[in-house]
Amino acid sequence: MIKADCVVAACRELLTCGGPVPKRGPALGEVGLVENAWVAARGGRVVFVGTEAGFKRSVEVEDGAVRVDAGGLVGLPGFVDSHNHLPFAGTREREFSLRLRGWTYQRLAAEGMGIRSTVRETRRIGRQELAALCLRRLDEMLLTGTTTTEAKSGYGLNLDDEVKQLEAVREAAARHPMTVVPTFMGAHEVPDEFRERKEDYLDLLVHTVIPAVRDQGLARFFDVFCEEGVFSLEETERLVAAARAAGFGVKIHADEFIPLGGAELAARVGAVSADHLIASTEAGIRALAASDTVAALLPNVPFFLMQDKKPPARRLIEAGAAVALATDFNPGSSMTSNMQFVVQLGVFLLRMGIEEAVNAATANAAFALRLQDEVGSVEPGKRMDLVLYDIPSYPFLVYRLGANPVRHVIKNGAAVVRDGRLARPSL
């Protein structure tokens, strides 16, 4: 008999999102639907997925086990948000109002607003205050069904404040059930004090900040904003080489506005993901499709910036790229951390199928953090990260726009959200 210390009973529908990852082409549409599913876990890992009869035959439930009655509910793996700028301070609603009056994101940046204004606010507050902001945001994410997230620095832009951001992330993660993957993004923008001498900022990143973040074990990935007016393709290459030499996995903000060749570069250097891709060329799409670099699409960005251009999701899927969906949660271009909303935009804006969007937000998103052996699907051996929604069938996840039907969240085999409420609020 298989022993279990956590049991989810009688899920009306379970989307396991199981199978080989990354899911490409037609496989992206396969969600592994099991009706009337029973799931069991032990020590935080799934040990059984199947029918009631199979469960009764093969699983022995230990005393004191966590039990969740999922009768009438729909289960999905916890969402994985592979692109998230979690540790920021301040908000930019004033800038948002200016955008509504016609200012572009680039014009705001040129006038000293944009990323640089969040840098000023983030530098101003202390590590603990920042950790408290992160905790509150992690609680919100759990309540909407996210159980794993990335957290990028990139609003410090000097040694002390980048380290402060990553320490705040580490502190918050240690006190929260969410799996948090830290990414160092000191190359998010050129800070004001280096405006006239960008070379010196590159030197600082390469010779001081990258080694310090590595030595303190503060991040798993390195990310850079490869964009006209921020970091050129050549500058990105230099930074990526330094980051790789220091042992970081690489992510690239590529082709958000102007195609500089960031997608091709990401594929060439074996980056874990290339993110945005709104302006990617056919050559960029082909390069990604022929690689293991995930095409991480962030549909709330063009929606939030009210742009007509969207990432070419259909073309990427057809070409065979490994497509993921993520929030890009940040105060300037995507003020949402809700993956349900991103899945809805994947369908409404990018014309993905519901099944494709779900896999892109779970199994393939896990691959975009190289956590595919841990999270992203409900399969034996993986972490017991399962979200139960109060909907009649899984298409309601998209069809029933703007609701939050999350009823229970199981993270690592513990019921961290019950009846839509946090079992233990962080603050």
Single out the segment in contact with ligand NIG by CB under 6 A; choices: 64-72, 331-339, 363-371, 404-412: 331-339
**Secondary structure E strands in 20-87:** 33-42, 45-50, 59-69, 74-77, 79-81
Among residues 179, 333, 338, 377, which is the contact residue for ligand NIG, using CB under 6 A? 333
Of 63-71, 111-119, 232-240, 406-414, which part binds ligand NIG (CB under 6 A)? 111-119
Give the residue with the Cβ less far from ligand NIG, 227 or 385: 227
330 vs 344, which CB is nearer to ligand NIG? 330
Residues 228-287 that bind ligand NIG (CB under 6 A): 253, 256
Please select the residue that binds ligand NIG; options are 331, 346, 376, 405, rule is CB under 6 A. 331
Is there binding between residue 311 and ligand NIG (CB under 6 A)?
Answer: no
CA-atom Rg of the chain in angstroms: 21
Which residues, at least 6 apart from 355, have a Cβ–Cβ distance to it below 8 Å? 15, 28, 29, 30, 31
167 binds ligand NIG (CB under 6 A): no
**CB nearer ligand NIG, residue 79 or residue 231:** 231
Q: Which residues pair with 187 in a beta bridge?
A: 224
Contact between residue 27 and residue 12 where contact means Cβ atoms under 8 Å apart: no
- Tell me, by CB under 6 A, how many residues bind ligand NIG: 12
284, 332, 346, 376: residue in contact with ligand NIG (rule CB under 6 A): 332
How far apart are the C-alpha atoms of 281 and 296, rounded to whole Å?
15
Residue 356's binding partner out of ligand NIG, Fe ion, none, with CB under 5 to 8 Å set by partner kind: none
Q: What pairs with residue 408 in β-bridges?
A: 388
8 A C-beta contact, residue 83 and residue 328: yes
Q: Which is nearer to Fe ion, 162 or 328 (CB)?
A: 328
Q: Identify which of residues 152 and 408 has a Cβ nearer to ligand NIG in the complex.
A: 152
Q: Is 115 in the site for ligand NIG (CB under 6 A)?
A: yes
CA dist 259 → 198, 226, 254, 295, 404 (Å): 21, 9, 8, 15, 36
Region near ligand NIG per CB under 6 A, out of 64-72, 210-218, 325-333, 376-384: 325-333
Helices (H), 190-320: 198-204, 210-215, 233-245, 262-268, 282-289, 300-304, 313-319
3-state secondary structure of 348: helix
Q: Quick check: 161 binds Fe ion (CB under 5 A)?
A: no
**C-beta closer to Fe ion: residue 151 or 289:** 151
Instruction: Say whether residue 328 binds Fe ion (CB under 5 A).
Output: yes
- Closest to ligand NIG by CB, 236 vs 333, is 333
- Please report how many Cα atoms fall inside a 13 Å half-sphere around the Cα of residue 311, on the Cβ side: 32
Q: What distance in Å separates the CA atoms of residue 313 and residue 296, rounded to the nearest whole number?
A: 10
Q: Pick what 173 binds: ligand NIG, Fe ion, none; C-beta below 5 to 8 Å, kind-dependent.
A: none
Pick between residue 49 and residue 80 the one whose CB is nearest to Fe ion: 80
CA distance 129 to 172: 10
Q: Give the span between the Cα atoms of 8 and 39, in whole angstroms.
A: 5
With CB atoms as reference, the residue minimizing the distance to ligand NIG is 332
Site string for ligand NIG, 66-95 (x = CB under 6 A): ------------------------------
3 state SS of 330? strand
Which residues here bind ligand NIG, judged by CB under 6 A? 114-115, 118, 225, 253, 256, 301, 328, 330-333
Which residues here bind Fe ion, judged by CB under 5 A? 328
